[in-house]
Amino acid sequence: MDCLPDAVVQHILSTLRNAKDVASCNCVSKKWKDSMPYITSIYFQRSIFDHLSNGQTPDKIISKILSSSCRLEELVVYCPFTSAGLASWLLLVGSSLKNLELRMDNLADQNASNDSLAKLECIQAARNLESLGLWGVLMVRTPKWDVFRKLRNLQIVGAKLEDSVLTETLRSTPNLTQLVLLGCEGLRNIRIELLELEHCKLDFYGSGSCHLTLKAPKIEYLEVQGCSWIRVRETSCLKNLSIANSSGRVYMMDFGKLTMLESLSLRGVQWCWDAISKMLQLATDVKHLCMKIEFTGDFETLLPFPEINFVDFFKSHPKLKSFEIHGAMFAALCQKNSLKNLDSGFVIPCLEELMITVRSPLNAEQKMSTLEAFVKCGKKLKKMRIRILQMKSGHSSADDFFEDIWKFRFMNHKLISIE
């Protein structure tokens, strides 16, 4: 590289990202050292300072490395640091930073709330941030932030905070287009109002009884885990929707018209049937549907799905291209009268891919009739996967049913696979 022009060397070295590589290159030659200020991104991994000696601290070393930078745009710090260290770094590079990711490490220590708040308030020095990622955050009070007008992407993973703290914090980020909150606990009644928001992923840790109200007229992608009540009235742009609750019951869904919705996923142990039926009624133009709900029922009693008419269901969802059905939904389509309206002229017009999870040999004859109906009516069907999951029965009916499925697969071997 000694033969290369200085500009070329600067360009090559400016692509370095790992802090250890940056420190090593700094010692090679004066030409290489003079290229270090042009690095735009630097990453300090979790274990980089595990074996320090001679009184060195991560804060001092990071400050020394960053002091030579003049155009740093991305800073990622996963190693331990203090609020004083963070404040000194951001004084050096805050004005040019666009992307900042910090592993805060305050969740385990309940006495670290003041340090956590101090770290959060240091971020105010990076006024031009476009993306901010925080891991392991204890937010007992709202940080004193001015408005981050350029911030478009906010990601918080693993946080303890209260409803009011989240609401006030988001008021400092009014122009977000992407919001990700994962593994957040302590929240009960969440209100989010972001007029530019397009992509939102929310995962609330706890009993699964959170209430969510979202006002985001430009929302296109929404994924929610851990809520029992959800209200999203402005849905004219919503294309992808996923709702799950693995630890609680889902009671109420209050959505506007889902005319643009292409993909819908409903998952959980127990949903109120009114919530399920309302979502299916709203999503008549959906192209991709996943139904992975085990039971219905409004209270403690777990109930099976009511009967669903096979013909009526697909007539009301004519654009469906892929359909993933798990136990309860498949059983509802296999009831005594589910196929009563089926005639030779009925066609499922767009269905191309089907995945069915079967968990019980009960009502085996009707289930086989439903599988046959999918093949017969799905004129565009390209792939059907039948998944046998945790089927337990001491009766020979389980073996007979499994044998019937294998025969069915043999007769349609180009179309059907069994897992």
HSE value, Cβ hemisphere, 13 Å, CA-based, for 271:
28
Give the pLDDT band of residue 40 (cuts 50, 70, 90): confident
This model's pTM is above 0.85: yes
Question: Residues of 3-12 as b/e, b for ≥16 C-beta within 10 angstroms?
Answer: eeeeeebbee
pLDDT digits (tens, 9 = 90+) for 93-111: 999 999 999 998 766 555 5
CA separation, residue 18 to residues 26, 38, 57, 75, 374 (Å): 13, 14, 18, 11, 53
Which positions ≥6 away from 343 have C-beta within 8 Å?
Answer: none
> For the chain, what are the domain ranges?
304-418
pLDDT digits (tens, 9 = 90+) for 146-189: 999 999 999 999 999 999 999 999 999 999 999 999 999 999 99
Give the pLDDT band of residue 28 (cuts 50, 70, 90): low
The token pair at 403 is 């044998």
pLDDT above 80: residue 285: yes
Please tell me the predicted confidence (pLDDT) of residue 207.
83
Mean pLDDT value of segment 401-406: 89
CB 334 within 8 A of CB 342: no
Nearest to 161 by CA among 182, 180, 187: 187
The CA radius of gyration of the chain, in Å to the nearest whole number, is 27
Please tell me the predicted confidence (pLDDT) of residue 31.
55
Question: Residues of 148-178 as b/e, b for ≥16 C-beta within 10 angstroms?
Answer: beebbbbbbbbbbbbeebbeebbebbeebbb
**DSSP secondary structure, 313-341, as one string:** HHHH-TT--EEEE-HHHHHHTTSTTTTTT
Please tell me the predicted confidence (pLDDT) of residue 115.
78
Number of Cβ within 10 Å of residue 56's Cβ equals 11
Give the pLDDT band of residue 391 (cuts 50, 70, 90): low
The token pair at 30 is 């004066």
Task: Please give the helix or strand (H or E) that residue 55 lies within, else none.
Answer: none
List the Cα angle 305/373/358 in 5-degree steps. 45
pLDDT digits (tens, 9 = 90+) for 185-201: 999 999 999 999 999 99
Which residue type, as a one-letter code, is found at position 353?
A: E
pLDDT digits (tens, 9 = 90+) for 227-252: 999 999 999 999 999 999 998 899 99
What is the chain's mean pLDDT, rounded?
89
Question: Residues of 111-142 as b/e, b for ≥16 C-beta within 10 angstroms?
Answer: ebeebbbbbbbbbbbbbebbbbbbbbbbbebb
Determine the 3-state secondary structure of 31 from DSSP. helix
Give the pLDDT band of residue 26 (cuts 50, 70, 90): low
CB 68 within 8 A of CB 36: yes
Mean pLDDT value of segment 82-92: 92
Nearest to 154 by CA among 127, 136, 181, 135: 181
